[in-house]
Structure 1
Amino acid sequence: MSYLIEARNLSKSFGQKTVLQDLTFSLPAGEPIALIGPNGAGKTTLFSLLCGYLPASRGELKVLGHKPGSSALFGRVSALPQDAMLDPNFSLLTQLSFFGQLQGMSKSTAVAESRRVLSLVDLAANAEQKATALSHGMRKRVAIAQALMGSPELVMLDEPTAGLDPVNALQVRQLIAKLSNEASFIISSHNIFELERLCGTVLYLEHGKLVQQSQVHSAATQGYLTLTLEAGAQTDVLPMLRQLPGVISVSDSQKHEYVLQFDAELAPDFDLTLLMALRQHGWRYRMLTKGQTLEQQLFAVTAKQA
């Protein structure tokens, strides 16, 4: 099987400081991939290694079957830094066309490609405008358009919705979801709820180590229910939930929210059993969802490892 990215014992040090330590993972092409971790976890360094900006200190790394920075990857990989800026003195079309020519396109091809990617982000009508005439959300979409020049196979986005209002953030998420059939995305973000909506695979880094690699929509949805009750429910909710047939464990992840793990074979209609029990006790619920949230998956594992 050919992988989008393969890392074996990948490490990076700056002097005596080790930033990434013995990362080993394989990532297939397809659904967007989430790169998660606290500040200083090594996410930006990993992006830099993938782009070929920095050499690894130890280990092996392949992107689309090639060493990062290889001429074989020219035009096939792109990256968008969090703080990417647009030149205020030139129109969007002029800037993007310039980037296209840097990729080796002829001037006419670069212009056509610039118009294509601006159309992808719904900014074709703004091609002759300068960045200063655009809102922050529109400028972010132009930056994403720049990363799409030349139809790369792998696109890395660092905090693509940082600083955006909910409407613009939604537009960016919808754009990435729409383009996921054309390219593989790796998205670094602190917004776990956003990544949960977008991504199929998660890499969780902490202190330069790979703590977890998991699938968002797989085993996490099997044998789990997340229950959110209305405020004011009785204090004996937890013992009652633990007594339900088929229950393996119940945890109160936060106030009025409970994660129930159950045996799906022994209790195939567990959701109905739960609803009947809530009705019997007169406890009103706000939400009942299948599976665990990405936040619950990640931090349940890290808590066990601590």
Structure 2
Amino acid sequence: MSLIIDVQQVTKQYGDKTVLNKVEFSLEKGAPVALVGPNGAGKTTLFSLLCGYIQPSSGNISILGHVPGNSALFGRLSALPQDAQLDPRFTIAMQLNFYARLQGMSNKFAKKDTARVLDMVALSDVVNSLPSELSHGMRKRATIAQALLGSPEIVMLDEATAGLDPANAKEIRAIVSEHASEVNFILSSHDLSELERLCDQVLYLDNGQLKQHKTLGNNDSAGFLTLRMKQHYSEIMPAILQIPGVSQVSMTQDKEYLLTISNEQGKLAIEMDLLTVLASNNWSYAQLINGKTLENQLF
């Protein structure tokens, strides 16, 4: 594996306000990485530092072996802000061609690359449409196509599915999943279940500090099952505790239960017994997850 991002003791201050405080982490080439944290945690500031839009007050950042903003990174890293907008006066193809030309492509290659990225996001049939003629989800996919121009090695997406209906959010997730082998995605989102499906690592920022940097699905989740129910049943916890191999059950939030498993090797049998208990009591469940949810791993 090769190192793509190295952040060492990075602090960012605006006057007396410290937005990031001695943040330190390294990322290697691989599956998408999640950047999570409450509003005001410093996520946007970190994205801006990685892109070279602003400079750290102290500390060092290396992107693909270069300082952020270095001309050597031109076309190798891209970022899509949450509020990215398309110009309403020009067609999708015209705008993407223009941005491709800004990257130094010839007119011929810009048109070819525009066609390539629009095909990647399943928008080949709207190349001559104005943004106003597209749905919100389609416009979001068009902005992601812009971020993919030139085949960058690192793409940072800030709240890429915010405000989208489930069908369009699924389309965005499919784009990331399909191209994750060629592109190193860094995803910022408040939707933890979405990040859990896409990412192998998570960076958790809070109040300007990196509280956790962890690999998902590691030993923290071994020996656990998470059960999400469609409605509340008062007798469900005692019934689950009767299943051999379940040593503890706790309610992590409304209609969600964390089962502690005493025998990891027998987890499959425990899952089958659990489903049998649910079926015999006519209890409807929404999801059974192997391990802890991302929310429970972080909090």
TM-score, normalising length from structure 1?
0.88
User: Taking structure 1 as reference, are residues 231 and 170 closer, same or farther at Cα in structure 2, changes over 3 Å only?
Assistant: closer
Partner residue of 2:136? Answer: 136
Q: What is the aligned partner in structure 2 of residue 170 from structure 1? A: 170
Is the 8 Å Cα contact of residues 222 and 264 (structure 1) preserved in structure 2? no
Residue 105 (structure 1) aligns with: 105
Partner SS state of residue 212, structure 1: strand
Q: Following TM superposition, by how much is the alpha carbon of 1:104 offset from its aligned partner in structure 2, in angstroms?
A: 0.9
Do residues 264 (structure 1) and 263 (structure 2) align?
A: yes
Q: Give 3-state SS (helix, strand or coil) of 2:87's partner.
A: coil
CA separation in 1, counterparts of 2:265 and 2:152? 48
Matched, 1:32 2:32: yes
Partner of 2:117: 117
Asked if the contact 1:229–1:283 (Cα under 8 Å) also holds between the matched residues in 2, the reply is: no
Percent identity, please. 50
Q: Distance in 1 between matches of 2:265 and 2:146?
A: 52
Q: Which residue in 1 is equivalent to 2:193?
A: 193
In the TM superposition, what is the alpha-carbon distance from 1:247 to its structure 2 partner? 4.5
More displaced 10-residue stretch of structure 1: 108-117 or 226-235: 226-235
Residue of structure 2 in register with 1:62 after alignment? 62
**Cα distance in 2 between the residues matched to 1:202 and 1:194:** 12
Tell me the equivalent position of 2:249. Answer: 250
Question: How far 1:233 sits from its partner (Å)?
Answer: 3.4
Asked if structure 1 preserves the Cα contact closer than 8 Å seen for 2:93 and 2:127, the reply is yes
Confirm or deny: 8 A CA contact 2:82 2:159 kept in the other structure: yes
Q: Deviation of residue 189 (structure 1)?
A: 0.8
Partners in 1 of 2:35 and 2:265 — Cα distance?
Answer: 36
Structure 2 counterpart of 1:37, one-letter code: G
Matches of 1:231 and 1:171 in 2, distance apart?
28
Q: 2 CA distance for matches of 1:253 and 1:64?
A: 40
Change (3 A) 1:229 1:41: closer
Q: CA deviation at 1:209?
A: 0.7
Aligned counterparts of 1:10 and 1:223: Cα–Cα separation in 2: 36
1:284 to 1:139, Cα distance in 2 relative to 1, 3 A: closer
TM-score (norm 2): 0.90
Residue 302 of structure 1 is matched in structure 2 by: none
Matched residue, 1:16: 16
> Residue 95 of structure 1 corresponds to which residue in structure 2?
95
1:303 aligns to what?
none
Residue 285 of structure 1 and its aligned partner are, at CA, apart by 5.5
Shift of 1:283: 7.5
Counterpart code for 2:188: S
**1:234 Cα deviation from its structure 2 partner:** 4.0
Q: Indicate how the Cα distance of structure 1 residues 165 and 265 shifts in structure 2: closer, same or farther if over 3 A, else same.
A: closer
Relative to structure 1, the CA distance from residue 102 to residue 254 in structure 2 (aligned partners, 3 Å threshold; closer, same or farther) is same
Aligned equivalent of 1:304 = none
Identify the residue that residue 146 of structure 2 maps to in structure 1. Answer: 146
Q: CA deviation at 1:219?
A: 2.6
What code does the residue aligned with 2:130 have?
A: K
The answer to whether the Cα contact below 8 Å between 2:36 and 2:205 also exists between their aligned partners in 1 is: yes
Deviation, 1:294, is 1.1
Tell me the residue number matched to 1:213: 213
Deviations 1:241-291 (A, max 9, x none): 5576554543211234320122335755443555567789x5845243321
What runs of 5+ residues in structure 1 fail to find an aligned partner?
Answer: 300-306
What is the deviation of 1:4? 1.7
Local SS of the residue matching 1:219 = coil
| Matched residue SS, 1:161 | coil
In the aligned structure 1, how far is the partner of 2:178 from the partner of 2:128?
25
For residue 74 of structure 1, what is the aligned residue in structure 2? 74
Contact preservation (8 Å) 1:34, 1:199: yes
Cα distance in 2, alignment partners of residues 4 and 67 from structure 1: 12
Amino acid at match of 1:293: T
Q: For structure 2, list consecutive stretches of 5 or more residues without a partner in the other structure.
A: none
Counterpart of 1:198 in structure 2: which amino acid? L
CA 1:116–1:8 in structure 2 vs 1: closer, same or farther (change >3 Å)? same
Conservation of the 8 A alpha-carbon contact between 2:222 and 2:264? no
How far 1:217 sits from its partner (Å)?
2.8
Between the aligned partners of 1:86 and 1:279, the Cα distance in structure 2 is: 50
